[in-house]
Amino acid sequence: MDPRIAKLKTTEECVNFENNATERGFPEIAADARRRGIAIRAEKHGAASEAERECLEAVYAHERMMLAKNGRTTRAIRTWQTFNRQGIIVAVEQLVSREAPPSGYTLLADLGLADYAFEAVVLRHPEAFSPEAVKRSQERMEQRLTQPAHA
């Protein structure tokens, strides 16, 4: 990571840095600033484990994706409600276990945030999730790898 990005302390600083990097034609640096902003938001939320922190980052990445898609801030209200009601890990298990895959993976990939998909988080922390959730996540990630771009 660019040392200038590591010094950023607020999400506002990250957004400004990202915008400047984008305007100047440095998409990799813009993506790093975007990732730093997501990490800052998740750190403030407070997580009980590394798996929970990454799940929080995934929700913030999804909200960032929705901003890029809609041109306005859009909160993942139902996801947050489920997190609060059932707990982060249980909620993510339910999300990855649905028959229909969650929408938005292609947009996450376009923003350089594909590793923030809930399935990717589950696969990085299989000990925190049920074997069924890990299996479903593996299947979905394999499907995504074999699909043509923007499918």
pTM as predicted: 0.85
Distance CA 63, CA 41 (A): 11
Read off the pLDDT of each residue in 133-138 and give the average, rounded to a whole number. 93
Residue 75: both structure tokens together: 């909160």
9 pLDDT higher than 50: yes
Max CA distance (Å), the chain: 45
CB 113 within 8 A of CB 64: yes
- 63, amino acid identity: E
Residue 141: both structure tokens together: 């990630």
Read off the pLDDT of each residue in 98-116 and give the average, rounded to a whole number. 76
Return the closest-CA partner of residue 140 out of 112, 108, 105: 105
